[in-house]
Amino acid sequence: MSKVIECISPVDGQVYATRETLSHPDAQMMVARARAAQPSWAARPLADRIALVQAGIAALNEMKDVVVEELAWQMGRPTRYGGEFGGMNERANYMISIAEASLAPMVIEDSATALRQIAREPMGVVAIIAPWNYPYMTVINSLVPALIAGNTVVLKHATQTLLVGERIAEAFHAAGIPEDVFQNVFLSHDVTETLLGERAFDFINFTGSVGGGRALEKAAAGTFVGMGLELGGKDPGYVADDADLDAAVDGLMDGALFNAGQCCCGIERIYVHESLYDAFVGKAIDWASKLKLGNPFEADTTLGPMANKRFAEVVRGQVADAINEGAQPLLDPAMFPADDGGAYLAPQILINVNHEMRVMREESFGPVVGIMSVKNDEEAIAAMNDCQYGLTCSLWTSDATRAEAIGARLQTGTVFMNRCDYLDPALCWTGCKETGRGGSLSVLGYHALTRPKSYHLKKVTK
């Protein structure tokens, strides 16, 4: 049976959009259309697929003003930041630029006696299950290479960003991509899991919670369908004794609090060498005190509400527990009068924290960060690895050799030096441990959405 899903706006707590989900039979028909359309889409010349995807991105850019406003209503990001178009375009353009080389056969031998090569073939029907925190960029990571590689795509977006998939589909269809090749759908969890159990899709790309990833794997158990999973994170930063202190404060605090802390690779815990600890903490307080929490449509707002009241409740609970266990809060909530006890949440910096506290172990995904002093690199490495997640880490030092040596010992998907909270589209976006498996972007992003097919053609010789 179908049901109605609602997007509750964090701006005013009102229902912003509603949509009806597909019934199981209607969802099966949708998948059947995608499967029927896939061979002819894959048969098109690669140059044609690239051109159509480029046109789709261009059409989406033409919707910028509407999209930025809708994003503020749906998930609270201040309009002053202009949505996600900078990062979205960077990723799309790079993946388009490497498409031909990434999908070219790997030729082992092409001689008078044999052709031996490894070709890349599309998976078939790819399902993208997208999150609300960066709802455009996360879709583009998979959508662009999936379509260019010859797959058809079914997109299921998060309830909190209900309109995003419709906007992307509107743009891509206007650009000439057939409707059955790329479909945006509204599905309940039950119908989604039933489709997975039926092996409706040939690959699933999911960005979301650890619990969501487990539910998908359980639903698809025994089907042998590949999955790309980017799940939880608790990304650390380390400020070494030779770091540029001001740059470290600016980078790490922005990484911790931008987008109300709702970033997959946001900084959630910071370890500072004891020689810089007091100075770092003082500067971090000054940095965060300049933020303006408020309505995302107001020009001076730098920190909007969290996407949903229940997300803010998780962070409030972690902070309260930490304080009860001895942590010291450094930001006076009175500096952020817009904090209403609901989705609008004042940022917080905590010291006197330890790894027994939930706020230093569980994903917060909100505007809070804990800061600890460490004696040396060894202590920092141990603390950074003391976590069930592994997405990124951020090292602040003037010595690249030192950063590389530390990074080699970290259980993480990406090692940053003197920056954080950024996806370089030329590098594989990946994680380890409970952050998940698989990878997107880079040439490996194309490999994730295609399968290798080997050819050993022995030629007749006379």
Task: List active site positions.
Answer: 230, 264
d(CA 299, CA 4): 34
Instruction: For 67-136, list the strands marked E by DSSP.
Output: 106-110, 114-122, 125-129
Q: Give the residue among 280, 293, 252 at the shortest CA–CA distance from 394.
A: 252
Contact 194, 185 (CB under 8 A): no
Q: Provide the angle, in degrees to the nearest 10, between the axes of the packed helices 189-197 and 210-219.
A: 40
Contact 56, 177 (CB under 8 A): yes
Single-letter amino acid, residue 307: A
Contact 91, 140 (CB under 8 A): yes
* Residue that has been written with the tokens 């890349």 in this structure: 120
DSSP state of 303: B
d(CA 153, CA 125): 6
d(CA 462, CA 456): 19
CB atoms within 10 A of CB 92: 25
Q: In what order do the strands lie in the sheet with 106-110?
A: 106-110, 114-122, 450-458
List phi, psi (to 5°) of 206. -125, 130
What the block records as the tokens of 45 is: 């010349």
Q: Collapse the DSSP code of 76 into the 3-class scheme (helix H, G, I; strand E, B; otherwise coil) and give the result.
A: coil
d(CA 322, CA 331): 14
d(CA 383, CA 273): 12
DSSP state of 124: S
Q: Give the residue among 54, 24, 226, 55 at the shortest CA–CA distance from 125.
A: 226
> H or E stretch including 430?
strand 429-430
Rounded to 5°, the CA angle 274-280-286 comes to: 155
d(CA 127, CA 27): 12
Q: Collapse the DSSP code of 171 into the 3-class scheme (helix H, G, I; strand E, B; otherwise coil) and give the result.
A: helix
d(CA 238, CA 388): 18
